[in-house]
Amino acid sequence: MTFSDFSLHPKLLRSVEQMGYTQPTPIQTQAIPPALAGRDVLACAMTGSGKTAAFVLPVLQRLMDGPKGITRALVLTPTRELAAQVQEQFRQLGKNTHLRSAEVFGGVAMRPQTRAFQTGVEIIVATPGRLLDHFQHPYARLEGLEVLVFDEADRMLDMGFLPDIRRILKHIPKPQQTLFFSATMPAPIAQLAKELLKNPLTINTERKAAPASGVTQAVYPVQQELKSALLLALLDSQITSAIVFTRTKHRANRLAEYLVKNGVKAERIHGNRSQNQRTEALAGFKSGKYRVLVATDIAARGIDVEALEHVVNFDVPAVPEDYIHRVGRTARAERTGEAFTFVAPDEEAQLKDIERAISKRLERVMLERFDYRAKPQGKLEVPVKERIAAIRQQKAQARANKAAKEGRSEPRTDGAKPRAAQPAQSGQGSKALTSTAGPASRRRRRR
């Protein structure tokens, strides 16, 4: 089957050809025809399967007819990165049409997003939280909405967005068509789909969640304190570039600093970074400016890097679903890739959960010529208590510095009592005081 078999508009077929798409993926083959026919679709599709185009093309085809200058399609995504990726697909596949799309998410100014609502862009791609912010204003009514799309619905559940989704549904008219895509189908998501969809065509909902078939997976058993050194050794011997996932934002920061210190061009992306910083980091990684992108699970969905060959789980994911989505950053669109997972002794239990979930025992690998008995050079992660104490010390020092500049006393950071301010003395001190008087004071003294 080819894209021409879908009876797509010639302008869309031209965009498909310009993007280099030749043959539809299995999820596209199954989802596009019923979506074009106007049916609701419930699809359980793995990350990297080509599911974005599976709903973008039908939405664009539907909106090519009918009124313009009014928002007729809304796509909900869990993360900013995924929203940006989906909006880019709408932009590229719709570039030969006159349809407009806009992304709506936090971390950036609301004014351009407000204009998008006011001017009636035909497609809005949004994260739940920022969309609800806009719904507080009369310009964001979406009264002409026809199509509602959920992308990565299970991740929205993981991130606690289910109550927000239900609030969003109260703000919008009942859509004529709903397209529901999720990598896994936990009970709350299945219930939500049952409530929203009308006689949907269901695709792959019973399959077991697993990474894409093109991913070669391996486990590296290693002491927690030697993970950084092992990553450096792999970068020196086997890995050209990689996305490296850590458990926490602090570990992402520390690992990125370690890599840069050792001559590896690296950047990090996580929830504490501004949207501009996250965008620059991802763009720099895609362009080759950075060899390594260190990320938390906020980026496990929404990062689409063409021909990414390696993903490294620096920390074992807490749940199997996160493993599947991390690994899904490679071997996208039926390509191949490698996923390495570093496993410390205290992470073996999580690894067994993952192996049970994917029904496969992962190969254990030891890197030749790596010293697994080496003495660690230092801890990657600073204990929380020490971090809090350091932050308090910094804030206290900043207050003391500010107080010193303003010429007033401030409680000392070492626990000692502050010295009382000394009264101005005659002589030099009084001269200094006199010298700072304004022109009017000097004229009064002369008179």
* Under 8 Å between Cβ of 213 and 337: no
Q: Is 150 helix (H, G, I), strand (E, B) or coil?
A: strand
Residue 426 banded pLDDT, cuts 50, 70, 90: very low
- Output the CA–CA distances (angstroms, integers) from residue 267 to 7, 254, 294, in the order listed: 44, 11, 6
141 and 290, same domain (yes or no):
no
269 and 196, same domain (yes or no):
no
Lowest mean pLDDT among 82-96, 102-116, 160-174, 201-215: 201-215
Mean pLDDT along residues 372-393: 76
Rounded to 5°, angle at Cα 412 from 407 and 415: 160
Given CA atoms 30, 304, 317, 211 in this order, what sign does their dihedral have?
positive
Lowest mean pLDDT among 14-18, 134-138, 372-376, 384-388: 384-388
161 and 222, same domain (yes or no):
no
Asked if the structure places residue 63 within a domain, the reply is yes
Residue 299 CA to its chain's centroid (Å): 3
Torsion of CA 414, 419, 421, 426, to 10 degrees: -130
* Under 8 Å between Cβ of 320 and 183: no
Q: Each residue of 328-370: pLDDT tens digit?
A: 766 554 567 889 999 999 999 999 999 998 888 999 999 999 9
Mean pLDDT along residues 409-422: 52
Q: Write the CB contacts of 240 (distance below 8 Å, at least 6 apart in sequence).
A: 291, 309, 310
pLDDT of residue 300: 55
Using CA atoms, how far apart are residues 329 and 47, in angstroms rounded to an integer? Answer: 7
Question: What burial class does residue 41 get, using C-beta atoms within 10 Å of its C-beta: 0-12 exposed, 13-18 middle, 19+ buried?
Answer: buried
pLDDT of residue 205: 47
Asked if the structure places residue 379 within a domain, the reply is no
Residue 381 banded pLDDT, cuts 50, 70, 90: confident
Using CA atoms, how far apart are residues 133 and 357, in angstroms rounded to an integer? Answer: 38
Residue 321 CA to its chain's centroid (Å): 16
170 and 224, same domain (yes or no):
no
* Under 8 Å between Cβ of 256 and 294: yes
Strand partners, 124: 74, 102
93 and 237, same domain (yes or no):
no
pLDDT of residue 3: 92
Residue where a domain stops, chosen among 342, 364, 386: 364
Phi, psi (deg, nearest 5) at residue 438: -75, 170
80 and 122, same domain (yes or no):
yes
Residue 238 has pLDDT above 80, yes or no: yes
Using CA atoms, how far apart are residues 346 and 211, in angstroms rounded to an integer? Answer: 24
**Rounded to a whole number, what is the distance in angstroms from the first to the last CA of the chain?**
101
Residue 414 has pLDDT above 90, yes or no: no
How much is the mean pLDDT over the chain?
84
Residue 443 has pLDDT above 80, yes or no: no
20 and 168, same domain (yes or no):
yes
- Residue 49 amino acid letter: S
Long-range contacts from 280-286, C-beta under 8 angstroms, 24+ separation: 282/81, 285/241, 285/243
Residue 444 banded pLDDT, cuts 50, 70, 90: very low
Q: Domain range holding 70? A: 3-203
* Helix H or strand E encompassing 55: helix 51-63
Using CA atoms, how far apart are residues 119 and 15, in angstroms rounded to an integer? Answer: 25
Tokens found for residue 440: 């009017």
Using CA atoms, how far apart are residues 255 and 249, in angstroms rounded to an integer? Answer: 10
Query: What count of residues does the chain have?
Result: 447
Instruction: Give Rg (Cα) of the chain.
Output: 28
What is the CATH classification number for the domain harbouring 319?
3.40.50.300
Percentage of the chain exceeding pLDDT 90: 53
Residue where a domain stops, chosen among 203, 231, 251: 203
Tokens found for residue 405: 């500049």
* Under 8 Å between Cβ of 111 and 61: no
Asked if the structure places residue 127 within a domain, the reply is yes
* Under 8 Å between Cβ of 297 and 99: no
Asked if the structure places residue 61 within a domain, the reply is yes
312 and 177, same domain (yes or no):
no
Asked if the structure places residue 398 within a domain, the reply is no
14 and 90, same domain (yes or no):
yes
Write the DSSP string, 151-172: SSHHHHHHTT-HHHHHHHHHHS
Burial letters 312-326, b for 16+ CB under 10 A, else e: bbbbbbeebbbbbbb
152 and 37, same domain (yes or no):
yes
Asked if the structure places residue 410 within a domain, the reply is no
220 and 147, same domain (yes or no):
no
pLDDT of residue 434: 39
Report which of 90, 121, 359 is spatially closest to residue 217, judged by C-alpha positions. 359
Q: Is 313 helix (H, G, I), strand (E, B) or coil?
A: strand
Residue where a domain stops, chosen among 331, 364, 397: 364
Report which of 133, 135, 203, 197 is spatially closest to residue 170, judged by C-alpha positions. 135
Asked if the structure places residue 209 within a domain, the reply is no
174 and 220, same domain (yes or no):
no
Phi, psi (deg, nearest 5) at residue 216: -90, 120
Asked if the structure places residue 370 within a domain, the reply is no
Burial letters 108-147, b for 16+ CB under 10 A, else e: beeeebeebbeebbbbbbbbbebbbebbeeeebebeebbb
Phi, psi (deg, nearest 5) at residue 9: -60, 145
Number of domains in the chain: 2
| pTM exceeding 0.75 | no
* Helix H or strand E encompassing 182: strand 177-182
* Under 8 Å between Cβ of 315 and 263: no
